Amino acid sequence: MALEEKHKSRYGTFSRRALLLSGGMTAVFGLLAGRLYQLQVLDGDRYLTQAEDNRINLRLLTPPRGRILDRFGTPLANSRRNYRVLMVPEQTRGGVKAALDTLAQVIPLNDRVRARVLKEAVGGKSFLPIVVAENLEWDDFARLNLELPYLPGVQPDVGETRDYPYTEELAHVLGYVAAVSPDDKARDETGDPLLDLPGFRLGKRGIEKTYDEKIRGHAGASRVEVNAYGRVIRELERVPGRSGEDVYLTIDRELQSFMYQRLKDDSAGAAVMDVETGDLLALVSTPGFDPNAFNVGVTPDQWKDLTGNDHKPLVNKALAGFYPPGSTFKTVTALAALEAGVITPDTIFNCSGAFSLGSHAFHCWKKGGHGPVDLRQGLKVSCDCYFYQVALKVGIDALQASARKLGLGAPTGIEIPGERSGFIPTPEWKRKTFKEPWQLGETLVAGIGQGYILTTPLQLCVLAARLAGGMQVNPRLVHSVGAETVARGNPEPLPFAPVSLAAVREAMVATANEPGGTAYAWRITEAPFAMAGKTGTAQVRVISAEERATGIRSNESLPWKLRDHGLFIGFAPADKPRYACAIVIEHGGLNSHPNVQLARDALLLAQKRDILGRRPAYPVTAADARL
């Protein structure tokens, strides 16, 4: 009995344990089944998407950059084929270093390239390609393809890159593209993912920088299948990028090239401008530089050559070169005096070769003087003593006010960055800067464009255009972006009496077309194309008493940096102005007047190209259709 009860007790205990164990297992399997249901049914779509995202990568594709064209549709900045060589480290034989040694026997590789590739190979995944060299010459690329069977791990590749076919001629207008820097990313407010793409190029200067967001286009996309290690298995879909907008400039490339070739050995700035519209047909700064080098990557030697050149090829002298306007400013002095009523065109001042103010003598450029001089003769022969006396009568306040109305002392608003404002002094500025009062002698030298006055070649071109047309015209460089014409207002008339402007213009006509005029020897002899103008020489040093006494002032005999600047402003045709021109040649105030000769030839070429009937190739817009 006791034994039977003992067995019953053990059986009961076992049954309870079995029940608890089976209940626990049921609960565990229930939890597993519930979790599987959640993963596969409730959350199945979400995990499927995550798995798909791990398997499929979306990669951005760089879009073709928009073109930059001149007024006749000639491409000035375009895309060209970029012959590249890539290397996949894991596919090389004997390692990356050995592969580079072998590759160097086929195409040129310098130490800088080798160091970069080795660094990228160490820091990156071995199956991802590394760009070894770009912008290969066709001969090198062809030789690479020929030797490819003996170059394991090396891959030839053809892409696109920016190309500037006219190199130095338009470098300062177009600017250039270069690799994106950390500062570029920090300044970018658009959040454009293109900036993160390896090898993407960003506009750094000139038109490329101003209109970069329009020109760069919109990224395309490539969907690729990858394995767990990120290795590409196949491409599933490709959507090409959308090309950037084309930009049409007002520049005439042939005129631009003509002027550049004539000035390329000088340090100079020049501009040719449409008097009616403000369109810039040429904007030249010499010497230039090759913008293609910045796209590829400037070497240390190239950078040293650019920054060590005393002609400063990286400075856009047309916009940022600061020069005293010299005698070209006498047109401003004359107009200010006529408007103030302190002289008439018939007012005569005597020039004996020097004008005395207190104990100081202010000399004329002509030893012995010009004798009795009126306004027309004063501008025609560029008499300094005449304009000393005119400036003394008109005063510095009226001079600086007239200069500003004629476009000096303030930025012109041109569409490319880097423009400087020039400088027109005032008595208040001198008191604040030097803690000294303005002196009458400073008014005299200001009247002939010396002293504190500074201008840029583009501002001088605006001065010539405003004198010629009588309107407050401003320069423009861009006509349209894509299919949209860049909006601009209609210029207002200058706040000067037409009779005053006519008197100054007539004197400029005499300067270039009457015997004795300072530009007469280099006039346009074809009457329908005749030009008007004003020569200028800006001193960069004080002429000593000994030089004045001996008359030895030949610029040609002086070191380059001590020579006077040579300047010229002009317009043509003389009787009905259409084009204005300004040229400044640093230390180029030579007896042969190369600045006047080039202005003559540039104005003549602009007029003759105009009568050929060539019409700009700008896109036809809604605004154009209404005209």
CA distance 64 to 77: 12
More confident residue, 400 or 239: 400
CA distance 451 to 20: 107
* Per-residue model confidence (pLDDT) at position 190: 75
Residue keyed to tokens 């004629």: 406
* Per-residue model confidence (pLDDT) at position 622: 43
* Per-residue model confidence (pLDDT) at position 4: 59
pLDDT band at 625 (very low <50, low <70, confident <90, very high): very low
More confident residue, 403 or 51: 403
pLDDT band at 27 (very low <50, low <70, confident <90, very high): confident
Mean pLDDT rounded to a whole number for the chain: 87
pLDDT band at 121 (very low <50, low <70, confident <90, very high): confident
The CATH architecture to which 253-611 belongs is: 3-Layer(aba) Sandwich (3.40)
Classify 30 as helix, strand or coil: helix
* Per-residue model confidence (pLDDT) at position 499: 97
Amino acid at 433: T
Determine contact, residues 242/63, Cβ cutoff 8 Å. yes
CA distance 385 to 166: 46
Residue 1 has pLDDT above 60, yes or no: no
59-249 has which CATH code? 3.90.1310.10
Q: Tell me the average pLDDT across 292-299.
A: 83
Closest C-alpha among 493, 460, 489 to residue 571: 460
For the chain, domain boundaries: 59-249, 253-611
Residue 21 has pLDDT above 80, yes or no: no
Phi, psi at residue 277, to the nearest 5°? -105, -20
CA dihedral 31, 32, 34, 35 (to 10 degrees): 110
* Per-residue model confidence (pLDDT) at position 211: 95
Residue 215 has pLDDT above 80, yes or no: yes
Greatest mean pLDDT among 183-187, 513-517, 585-589: 513-517
In this predicted model, what pLDDT tens digit does every residue of 440-490 receive, in sequence order?
Answer: 999 999 999 999 999 999 999 999 999 999 999 999 999 999 988 988 888
Residue 623 has pLDDT above 50, yes or no: no
State the number of CA atoms in the 13 A half-sphere of 88 facing the CB. 11
Which residues does the annotation mark as catalytic? 327
* Per-residue model confidence (pLDDT) at position 456: 97
* Per-residue model confidence (pLDDT) at position 615: 65
Partners of 284 in beta bridges: 270
591 secondary structure, DSSP code: T
**Within 10 Å of residue 388's Cβ, how many Cβ atoms?**
25
Token couple for 30: 């229930």
**Within 10 Å of residue 412's Cβ, how many Cβ atoms?**
22
* Per-residue model confidence (pLDDT) at position 35: 67
pLDDT band at 627 (very low <50, low <70, confident <90, very high): very low
In this predicted model, what pLDDT tens digit does every residue of 585-598 receive, in sequence order?
Answer: 999 888 888 999 99
pLDDT band at 218 (very low <50, low <70, confident <90, very high): confident
* Per-residue model confidence (pLDDT) at position 318: 97
Q: Tell me the average pLDDT across 351-360.
A: 94
In this predicted model, what pLDDT tens digit does every residue of 528-548 receive, in sequence order?
Answer: 999 999 999 988 876 666 665
DSSP 118-138: HHHHHHS-TTS-EEEE-S--H
β 247-249/68-69 pair status: parallel
Q: What interhelical angle do 457-469 and 330-340 show, nearest 10?
A: 40
